[in-house]
């Protein structure tokens, strides 16, 4: 079996956590039908939590994080995939309790694997990664429920993060007038360059009036932050507005009332990309490789090696990451 390099996180005797790049054998990987030589991964907030000992993400250590991976099939115990085929894996248990994409090889169940769609390179698939898939699922849910560009503005929260950035880009690609919300004033020019028609500071969507409804401003929303910001946006949705929610960067709490739902017919949908239906997943990857693919996709990504991961993990935990960090293996 081949040996390979992996970013390895260990729990120390004093309950602290440390990481190093080690040499592993593919024989040590968990069971699964498909062995993949990983070419690219990406850094997500969940990876940073796993890399620093968050037991809500990863129960047992030592461990290799990386919830995203793209590469080439080395071995397959099923005729669904062939040696040499380009594939990608996002979500499920990858990088959580199954050795993940921060290693040069992964072994996973066949049902986790998606063939790389035509029109997408391996590196591009990781610029999207879990963040892009989540953004696509959020937007598709809005479209399924009647949102069209002529209905009005779409607001995106946490817009300099991975999901938010890609949501802004995809919505712009689809012709929507998009309002981006960020707590990083320095991100305004960046977001407008990616297609946002307006950029708001998060304080502008954090209502303290106590009123159950505000002026209807938005036809749709992709929310990644939760908390008071989501509650404020719900108050400002237009009649029959649609909201997709996928994160809790601000808070898991939602201090709201039923008024937006029963007086304006607002609909809110929860999005989970980790365990979503495989056919919906494949459809979204096809869209991301085709008609939804932003023209400036490379502009939002920086590439690091395994040696550069520790620095980037510290940065994302402090809220300092803008766009996407790609890991070249």
State pLDDT tens for residues 55-90.
999 999 999 999 999 999 999 999 999 999 999 999
Q: How far lies 30's CA from each of 63, 97, 131, 275, in Å? A: 12, 10, 25, 19
Whether 106 and 28 share a structural domain: yes
The pTM of the full predicted model, rounded to 2 decimals, is: 0.95
Is residue 267 over pLDDT 90? yes
Whether 153 and 188 share a structural domain: yes
The mean per-residue pLDDT over the stretch 239-248 comes to 96
Judge whether 306 lies within some domain. yes
Predicted pLDDT at 8:
96
- Pairwise CA distance, residues 50 & 192, whole Å: 33
Predicted pLDDT at 184:
87
Percent of the chain with pLDDT over 70: 100
Judge whether 305 lies within some domain. yes
Contact, 182 vs 188, CB < 8 A? Answer: yes
Residue position matching structure tokens 């993060």: 161
Whether 58 and 159 share a structural domain: no
Helix (H), strand (E), coil (C) string for the chain:
CCEEEEEEEEECCCCCEEEEEEEEEHHHCCCCCEEEEEEEEECCHHHHHHHCCCCCCCCCCCECCCCEEEEEEEEECCCCCCCCCEEEEECCCECCCECCCCECEEEECHHHEEECCCCCCHHHHHHHHHHHHHHHHHHHHHHHCCCCHHHCEEEECCCCCHHHHHHHHHHHHCCCCEEEEECCHHHHHHHHHCCCCEEEEHHHHCCCCCCCCCCCCEEEEEECCEHHHHHHHHHCEEEEEEEEECCCCCECCCCCCCHHHHHCCCEEEECCCCCCCHHHHHHHHHHHHCCCCCCCHHHHEEEECHHHHHHHHHHHHCCCCCCEEEEEC
Q: Using one digit for the tens of pLDDT, what is the confidence trace for 2-17? A: 899 999 999 998 988 9
Tokens of 194: 């990616």
Judge whether 285 lies within some domain. no
Q: How far lies 122's CA from each of 46, 94, 140, in Å? A: 21, 18, 23
Whether 161 and 112 share a structural domain: no
Judge whether 311 lies within some domain. yes
Radius of gyration of the chain (CA): 20
Whether 15 and 49 share a structural domain: yes
Judge whether 281 lies within some domain. no
Beta bridge partners of 198: 179
Judge whether 277 lies within some domain. no
Instruction: Provide the number of structural domains found in the chain.
Output: 2
Q: Using one digit for the tens of pLDDT, what is the confidence trace for 196-237? A: 999 999 999 999 999 999 999 999 999 999 999 999 999 999
Predicted pLDDT at 320:
81
Whether 106 and 152 share a structural domain: no
Predicted pLDDT at 296:
84
- Pairwise CA distance, residues 322 & 158, whole Å: 10
- Pairwise CA distance, residues 145 & 235, whole Å: 19
Contact, 221 vs 241, CB < 8 A? Answer: yes
Whether 138 and 265 share a structural domain: yes
Whether 135 and 265 share a structural domain: yes
Q: How far lies 90's CA from each of 95, 113, 304, in Å? A: 9, 8, 19
Whether 16 and 85 share a structural domain: yes
Q: Which of 66-70, 150-154, 185-189, 237-241 has the lowest mean pLDDT?
A: 185-189
Whether 69 and 150 share a structural domain: no
CATH number (domain holding residue 64): 3.90.180.10
Whether 87 and 166 share a structural domain: no
Predicted pLDDT at 318:
86
User: For residue 167, which of 50, 273, 326 has the smallest C-alpha distance?
Assistant: 273
Tokens of 327: 């890991």
Beta bridge partners of 41: 327
Contact, 324 vs 162, CB < 8 A? Answer: yes
User: For residue 250, which of 268, 230, 270 has the smallest C-alpha distance?
Assistant: 230
Q: Using one digit for the tens of pLDDT, what is the confidence trace for 284-320? A: 999 999 999 998 899 999 999 999 999 999 999 988 8
Judge whether 279 lies within some domain. no
Whether 181 and 244 share a structural domain: yes
- Pairwise CA distance, residues 283 & 252, whole Å: 29
Is residue 1 over pLDDT 80? no
Preceding amide of 62 cis, omega within 30: yes
CATH number (domain holding residue 256): 3.40.50.720
302 is in which domain, residue-wise? 3-116+297-328
Judge whether 123 lies within some domain. no
């Amino acid at each position: 079996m081949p040996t390979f390099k992996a970013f390895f996180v260990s729990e120390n005797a004093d309950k602290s956590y440390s990481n190093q790049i080690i040499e592993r054998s593919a024989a040590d990987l968990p069971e699964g039908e498909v062995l993949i030589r990983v070419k690219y991964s990406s850094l997500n907030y969940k990876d940073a939590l796993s890399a620093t000992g968050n037991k809500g993400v990863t129960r047992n250590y030592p461990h290799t994080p990386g919830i995203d991976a793209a590469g080439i099939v080395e071995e397959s115990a099923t005729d669904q995939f062939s040696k040499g085929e380009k594939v990608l894996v996002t979500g499920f248990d990858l990088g959580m309790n199954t050795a993940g994409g921060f290693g040069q090889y992964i072994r996973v169940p066949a049902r986790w694997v998606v063939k790389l769609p035509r029109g997408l390179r391996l590196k591009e698939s990781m610029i999207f990664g879990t963040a892009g898939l989540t953004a696509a699922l959020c937007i598709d849910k809005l479209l399924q429920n009647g949102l069209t560009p002529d209905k009005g503005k779409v607001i995106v929260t946490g817009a300099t993060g991975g999901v938010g950035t890609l949501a802004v880009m995809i919505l712009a690609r689809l012709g929507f007038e998009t309002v981006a919300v960020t707590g990083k004033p320095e991100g305004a020019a960046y977001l407008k360059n990616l297609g946002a028609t307006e950029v708001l500071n998060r304080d502008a969507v954090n209502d303290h009036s106590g009123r159950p409804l505000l002026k209807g401003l938005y036809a749709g929303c992709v929310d990644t932050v939760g908390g008071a910001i989501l509650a404020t946006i719900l108050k400002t949705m237009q009649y029959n507005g649609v909201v997709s929610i996928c994160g809790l960067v601000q808070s898991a709490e939602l201090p709201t009332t039923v008024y937006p739902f029963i007086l304006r017919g607002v609909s809110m949908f929860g999005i989970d990309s980790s365990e979503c239906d495989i056919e919906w997943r494949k459809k979204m990857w096809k869209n991301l490789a085709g008609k939804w693919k932003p023209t400036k996709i490379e502009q939002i990504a920086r590439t690091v090696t395994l040696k550069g991961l520790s620095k980037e993990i510290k940065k994302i935990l402090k809220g300092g990451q803008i766009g996407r960090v790609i890991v070249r293996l």
